[in-house]
Structure 1
């Protein structure tokens, strides 16, 4: 069972690794759903931890639709991230009609030059999630789809997440369930959905506050639950 934890500082990343995270999603702007972190933070986290780190590539929080100026920013960010070495990416993009922006996806994947990618929660705003998943499955670089099943929280979207998990089971893409997961009910959620990857943010921070540091005790509690239910 893979446990991905959001980090917004070097200290977050270090604590996450020490207390049970398998992978880090590195972002800034946590209340905006995640934005591209600074190059200094990216380099600092890569130097500080040994577990995999996926870096958010998202130039603004206005929407998941990007114009050419946004695209050029994202391409530059991807090149900088790739130059650091040993990192992966998190990104997602939609057309105005709610379909995956496949043209932009191809451009960014080409710039990523083989780096593994998570397609983030832009997926939850797709007009047709099943069709979106079929597009994403065409690209082996994309190993994860972060989703709450189209609902505000993953527990609310559990039924759809279970469907997505079944549809992705014979492909290179894994469903990464995230948003609103907590230690309470986690075991039942994993059983209901059959997911093997989960994503945690506020629930493993002090007082459940997104602007506070990662809390070792909360993170260890989640890790213990996941370990007890290993398949």
Structure 2
């Protein structure tokens, strides 16, 4: 399970069973389980999720994203997502990662409410769809209406979260007021991690490429890199 609240929480992307096993043994507190990392993450197979659940005993949140065309979903897309959620709930996942926007760039509350209902009481991370929202802060207020949404994964609306340190710093207390944990991710790397954590005062962060061989999301997790990330994170734990 997750470490105590006083410990910096690391969420690591996993899209293979070996990713999950290595991450869990080397400092990850939570996994975001996906497939198609080159497309930003799509809904993974039930076989992968079941295999991870069988062998890994940490918080496992699973991506619900049917395609990478956009974050604007049709009625048919939502029906597929609801079915995926039902299947994953039956496996016993810790939570889900999803999101939906209107064509105007607002949170699609009608789509979101259907997904939350399908998830029943599972905690939800609203993913980087928020980085394409017309107004990040307004999107956080909208998401604050839903107690099921525990986290928002964001790069602060920039290609790399390292370009949005000031934005993360501003939005973290806004999210906290709404009962939501802001989860910065995308573009974090080891060299900048310590200064980023110090400046933003976040309690959790999300790691993808930074924990992998040659810094590529398409490569396996590098044990030394992930261990180094854990050591940096532990400097901020008390």
Query: 2: distance between equivalents of 1:163 and 1:227?
Result: 23
Q: TM-score, normalised by structure 1?
A: 0.98
Query: Structure 2 unaligned runs (5+)?
Result: 1-7
1:59 matched residue in structure 2: 66
Where does 1:140-219 land on structure 2 (aligned, <5 Å)? Answer: 140-219=147-226
2:118 matched residue in structure 1: 111
Query: Structure 1 unaligned runs (5+)?
Result: none
1:30 matched residue in structure 2: 37
In the alignment, which of 139, 143, 153 is matched to residue 132 of structure 1? 139
Are the equivalent residues in 2 in contact too, given 1:124–1:147 (CA < 8 A)?
Answer: yes
In the alignment, which of 69, 73, 83 is matched to residue 76 of structure 1? 83
2:129 matched residue in structure 1: 122
Deviation at 1:171, TM superposition (A): 3.0
Q: What's the RMSD between the two structures over aligned residues?
A: 0.8
Deviations 1:36-87 (A, max 9, x none): 0011111111111000100000000010000011111100000000000143
Deviations 1:140-193 (A, max 9, x none): 111000001000011101111111102122332000000000111211101111
Query: 2: distance between equivalents of 1:34 and 1:28?
Result: 5
Are the equivalent residues in 2 in contact too, given 1:93–1:105 (CA < 8 A)?
Answer: yes
Query: 1: distance between equivalents of 2:49 and 2:169?
Result: 33
**Residues matched between the structures, number:** 231
Query: 1: distance between equivalents of 2:236 and 2:79?
Result: 44
What secondary structure does 1:90 align onto? Answer: strand
Q: Which shifted more, 167-176 or 27-36? A: 167-176
Query: 2: distance between equivalents of 1:216 and 1:93?
Result: 34
Are the equivalent residues in 2 in contact too, given 1:149–1:157 (CA < 8 A)?
Answer: yes
Q: TM-score, normalised by structure 2?
A: 0.95
Are the equivalent residues in 1 in contact too, given 2:61–2:93 (CA < 8 A)?
Answer: no
